[in-house]
């Protein structure tokens, strides 16, 4: 039987709305039972927990003055949806693992990695990663629209950021500072430079002081803002890259699913997708699926997919030249 302490903790975590804690304790009960030789009960408990997956988070709206600057959602994205190198997936998994077992770490005076910087080219899965972290942990995702804050509240950006960091302290969730470049990147007009520096500095101070339970994630596709001062404030920096051949194949395979023609040779098609981002490849697959559906056909041919990939590639080239 579970110990009295475990039963009390289970009840507590249920009523204080900490689904992740509930899950951890349930797994501890399973481990306890296994130790007592109650293998099948342990397995049953573990299966129940696994089946439940992460519970969708409850999203409470923000106060009116922040509402239009922060998007709240309850993502259902899972780690399996993210196509990345093994190394990258392992690093994302480590964030999840440390979060799930943070009490264990705390007992030894350690904190789980929770301030994460995501850097890399557009369409490689940075925003998706934030959704995966939230989805896997059953936490709400709060996306802070940095560009909006900066353009709307130039001059009071730091004050707005302070308000947001107050919320981070109060509410558990994944807080994504998306398009983080907005405060560090293009330093266009001269009079903006000083202000941007100040904003970046206050952001760094806020993030340094933050001791909340939440995950704080910043995403940027501008490598120019990545300096030492910034790196130091984060527990982890993940660098995203355009997909390599194996990833391209996996992306196409995942996306086409049952629409994939059985004789399609992935290696050959994947070659046509080189230098495209994950997002562009996914879009090309979707375009090919749409064409197939509209033509009342059942499966996507290699020829059609190659055409859609080429279309993406030329759209990209045209943009660069234009």
Ligand X SMILES: Nc1ncnc2c1ncn2[C@@H]1O[C@H](COP(=O)(O)OP(=O)(O)OP(=O)(O)O)[C@@H](O)[C@H]1O
18-55: b (≥16 Cβ within 10 Å) or e: bbbbbbbbbbbbbebbbeeeeeeebeebbeebeeeebe
Using the minimum distance from each CB to ligand X, give the nearer residue, 49 or 72. Answer: 72
Task: Indicate the Cα dihedral angle 306, 312, 317, 320, nearest 10°.
Answer: -160
Task: Provide, rounded to whole angstroms, the least separation between the CB of residue 92 and Mg ion.
Answer: 15
Residue pointed to by tokens 């949806």: 81
DSSP 107: T
Residue 221 interacting partner from ligand X, Mg ion, none (CB closer than 5 to 8 Å by kind): ligand X
Using the minimum distance from each CB to ligand X, give the nearer residue, 21 or 124. Answer: 124
What does the binding site for ligand X look like in residue numbers (CB under 6 A)? Answer: 82-84, 122-128, 219, 221, 251, 278-279, 282
Distance CA 302, CA 248 (A): 14
Distance CA 40, CA 34 (A): 8
Task: Provide, rounded to whole angstroms, the least separation between the CB of residue 286 and ligand X.
Answer: 9
- Contact string (CB under 5 A) for Mg ion, positions 110-139, x = contact: ----------------xx------------
Residue 115 interacting partner from Mg ion, ligand X, none (CB closer than 5 to 8 Å by kind): none
Using the minimum distance from each CB to ligand X, give the nearer residue, 29 or 308. Answer: 308
Residue 312 interacting partner from Mg ion, ligand X, none (CB closer than 5 to 8 Å by kind): none
CB 153 within 8 A of CB 160: yes
Using the minimum distance from each CB to ligand X, give the nearer residue, 20 or 179. Answer: 179
Using the minimum distance from each CB to ligand X, give the nearer residue, 122 or 257. Answer: 122
Task: Provide, rounded to whole angstroms, the least separation between the CB of residue 36 and Mg ion.
Answer: 48
Read off the tokens for 189.
């007009």
Task: Provide, rounded to whole angstroms, the least separation between the CB of residue 282 and ligand X.
Answer: 4
How far is CA 52 from its chain centroid?
21
Site residues for Mg ion per CB under 5 A: 126-127
């Amino acid at each position: 039987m579970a110990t009295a302490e475990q039963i009390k903790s289970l009840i507590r975590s249920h009523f204080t709305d900490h689904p992740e804690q509930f899950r951890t304790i349930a797994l501890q009960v399973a481990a306890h039972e296994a130790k007592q030789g109650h293998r099948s009960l342990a397995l049953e408990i573990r299966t129940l927990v696994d089946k439940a997956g992460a519970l969708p988070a409850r999203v409470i709206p923000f106060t009116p003055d922040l509402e239009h600057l922060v998007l709240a959602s309850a993502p259902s994205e899972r780690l399996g949806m993210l196509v990345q190198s093994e190394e990258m997936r392992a690093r994302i998994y480590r964030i999840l693992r440390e979060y799930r077992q943070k009490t264990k770490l705390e007992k030894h005076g350690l904190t789980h990695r929770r301030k994460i910087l995501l850097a890399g080219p557009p369409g490689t899965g940075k925003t998706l990663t934030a959704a995966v972290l939230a989805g896997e942990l059953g936490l709400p995702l709060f996306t802070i629209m940095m560009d909006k804050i900066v353009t709307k509240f130039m001059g009071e950006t730091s004050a707005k950021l302070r308000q947001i960091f107050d919320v981070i302290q109060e509410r558990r969730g994944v807080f994504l500072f998306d398009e983080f470049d907005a405060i560090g990147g293009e330093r266009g007009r001269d009079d903006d430079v000083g202000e941007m520096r100040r904003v970046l500095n206050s952001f760094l101070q806020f993030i340094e002081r933050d001791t909340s339970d939440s995950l704080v994630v910043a995403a940027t596709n501008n490598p120019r803002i990545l300096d030492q001062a910034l790196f130091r404030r984060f527990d982890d920096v993940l660098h995203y890259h355009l997909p390599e051949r194996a990833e391209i194949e996996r992306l196409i395979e995942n996306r086409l699913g049952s629409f994939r023609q059985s004789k399609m040779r992935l290696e050959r098609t994947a070659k046509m997708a080189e230098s495209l981002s994950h997002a562009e490849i996914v879009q090309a697959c979707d375009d090919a699926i749409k064409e197939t559906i509209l033509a009342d056909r059942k499966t996507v041919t290699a020829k059609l997919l190659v055409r859609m990939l080429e279309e993406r590639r030329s759209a990209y080239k045209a943009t660069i030249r234009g």
